[in-house]
Structure 1
Amino acid sequence: MQLDHSQLQKLLAFLAESDIQEFRLEGDDFRVEVRRNLPSIQSNLTPIVTTAISPPQSSTSIAGLINTRDLVDIIAPMVGTFYRAPAPGEPTFVELGSRIGVGQTVCILEAMKLMNELETEVSGEIVEILVDDGTPVEFGQILMRVKLC
């Protein structure tokens, strides 16, 4: 199943106006989960958890300094504003060199006034953060790279 940017925006708009508390949709290269009004959430975020990763690459990048065979790109599953921390003044989710595990939140994408927590499906080490905090991002844009461990 493929989901383009327009379809994703329509789906998010529909879900934002609905009474649906939990929703999950999976395709070949994406997963969208929506969970609202759950008692375990202690912030003012309306979390939508989305994950998008690209498969490991077979080339080199950064002037040959990093062999990308063991790297996974974390990509933006939607257009939005990229935030490295849950709120201004709070610690960032990850830094360069941070070890991450499956299901760990690595950033937030704000889209249509919804705060979307981006979780990873891989374990490894953050080796690149390619977007500045508070910067608008495009659908499919690479946000971070993870070295698989």
Structure 2
Amino acid sequence: MDIKEIQNLIKFVAKSGASEVKLEMEDIKITIKTGSEKTETTIVQAAPMAGLPQVAAPVAAAPVVEISTPAPAATSDDSNYITVKSPIIGTFYRKPSPDKPNFVEVGSEISVGDTVCVIEAMKLFNEIESEVSGKIVKVLVDDSSPVEFDQPLFLVDPS
């Protein structure tokens, strides 16, 4: 099992709402526990292999902590703003194609149903529409960056 497969498993468990998942294979044992505040991942190597799997396993735990901690901090600092979040996992794009202008900029007025970005998932480009009206205060994701499910994309001032 490589690091990408472990990361995908962690993402799947986080989205599923399961509180604990244990996976045991021939040479590896993985336990993923999720709680309301943090995700804990335990990876135990049962049969020592060449250095590669042992080096890859600890690296897999680091992104989980980084992903789960910034979101609450951004929300609490800007509590008077509404957050537009990603409904899917994919690659975030601010414009419909490289030669077109961005859908929205900081200061843009948006209405319910306005397209604010595109997220590419499995070679399909999904237009993300705003569920709120207001003014874009901050763009939280860089263009062409990978995004997670429920990751904050924009801050909107509803007033």
TM-score over 0.5 (shorter chain): yes
1:101-130 CA deviation, whole Å, 9 max, x = no partner?
Answer: 110000000001111000011110000101
1:14-73 CA deviation, whole Å, 9 max, x = no partner?
Answer: xxxxxxxxxxxxxxxxxxxxxxxxxxxxxxxxxxxxxxxxxxx994x1xxxxx522x111
AA in 1 matched with 2:137: V
Find the residue that maps to 2:118 and give its secondary structure: strand
Unmatched segments (≥5 aa) in structure 2: 1-10, 13-73
Residue identity over aligned pairs, in percent, reads 52
- What is the alpha-carbon distance in structure 1 between the residues aligned to residue 152 and residue 75 of structure 2? 16
Q: Report what 1:115 is aligned to.
A: 125
Q: Report what 1:139 is aligned to.
A: 149
Unmatched segments (≥5 aa) in structure 1: 7-56, 62-66
- What is the alpha-carbon distance in structure 1 between the residues aligned to residue 140 and residue 75 of structure 2? 19
How far 1:89 sits from its partner (Å)?
1.9
Which of these residues, 58, 66, 81, is aligned with residue 91 of structure 2? Answer: 81
- What is the alpha-carbon distance in structure 2 between the residues aligned to residue 118 and residue 84 of structure 1? 10
Q: Using CA pairs under 8 Å that are at least 6 residues apart, name the structure with larger relative contact order, 1 or 2.
A: 1
- What is the alpha-carbon distance in structure 2 between the residues aligned to residue 96 and residue 89 of structure 1? 20
Q: Report what 1:68 is aligned to.
A: 79
AA in 1 matched with 2:123: K
AA in 1 matched with 2:118: I
The CA RMSD measured in Å over matched residues stands at 2.4
In the superposition, relative to structure 1, how do residues 133 and 94 fare at CA in structure 2: closer, same or farther (>3 Å)?
same
Structure with greater proportional helix content = 2
Q: Report what 1:94 is aligned to.
A: 104
The higher radius of gyration belongs to 2
1:61-99 CA deviation, whole Å, 9 max, x = no partner?
Answer: 1xxxxx522x11111111100000000021000000100
Aligned length: 90
Find the residue that maps to 2:101 and give its secondary structure: coil
- What is the alpha-carbon distance in structure 1 between the residues aligned to residue 138 and residue 101 of structure 2? 18
| Moved beyond 4 Å, runs of 4+ | none
